[in-house]
Amino acid sequence: MPTKNYLTLLVVDLILLMVSACDENTRDTYSYAGDVEPIFMQRDCKFCHTSDQNIHLDLTNHAGLMRGSDNGVVVVPGDADHSLLYLKVAMEQPPRGERMPLGRTPLTTTQIRIIEDWINTGAQNN
């Protein structure tokens, strides 16, 4: 028969396990305007990636991003691993071109995770 101390430790372990499984940065849905665009604003991505610049990828709004670039689609909704946007901010050596933001400090792990989760949950503009 388990002792009271054993049961108390078991309950504490279960609570700690549940708390560690909860990631405060993980949600069911993300939006461009509410979650992703602020990252682009904080990191000055829009300084180069506007419809006015010659970079050919417009990050100033969801429609521009989803249009892609001269190289094609950069976001594959539901599939971050095949989305050039994610690969270029997450990988030190992306499959095409340079890591972004070019010549600046890479995005934080949290910022990268938000972009990855936004893409994987459908890249919505809600």
- Span 103-121, pLDDT tens digits: 889 999 999 999 999 999 9
For residue 42, is it within any domain? Answer: yes
Structural domain boundaries, residue 104: 28-120
For residue 19, is it within any domain? Answer: no
Amino acid 3: pLDDT: 61
For residue 90, is it within any domain? Answer: yes
* Structural domains of the chain, count: 1
Q: Which long-range contacts (C-beta less than 8 Å, at least 24 apart) are formed by 96-101?
A: 96/71, 100/45, 101/43, 101/44, 101/45
Question: Whole-structure pTM over 0.85, yes or no?
Answer: no
For residue 8, is it within any domain? Answer: no
Q: Which two tokens stand for residue 15?
A: 């609570």
For residue 5, is it within any domain? Answer: no
The size of the chain, in residues, is 126
Convert the pLDDT of each residue in 15-51 to its tens digit: 444 434 444 445 677 889 999 999 988 877 666 676 6
Q: Where are the alpha helices (DSSP H) in the chain?
A: 4-21, 37-42, 62-67, 84-90, 109-120
Instruction: At 94, give phi and psi (nearest 5°).
Output: -65, 160
For residue 116, is it within any domain? Answer: yes
For residue 112, is it within any domain? Answer: yes
For residue 68, is it within any domain? Answer: yes
Amino acid 53: pLDDT: 58
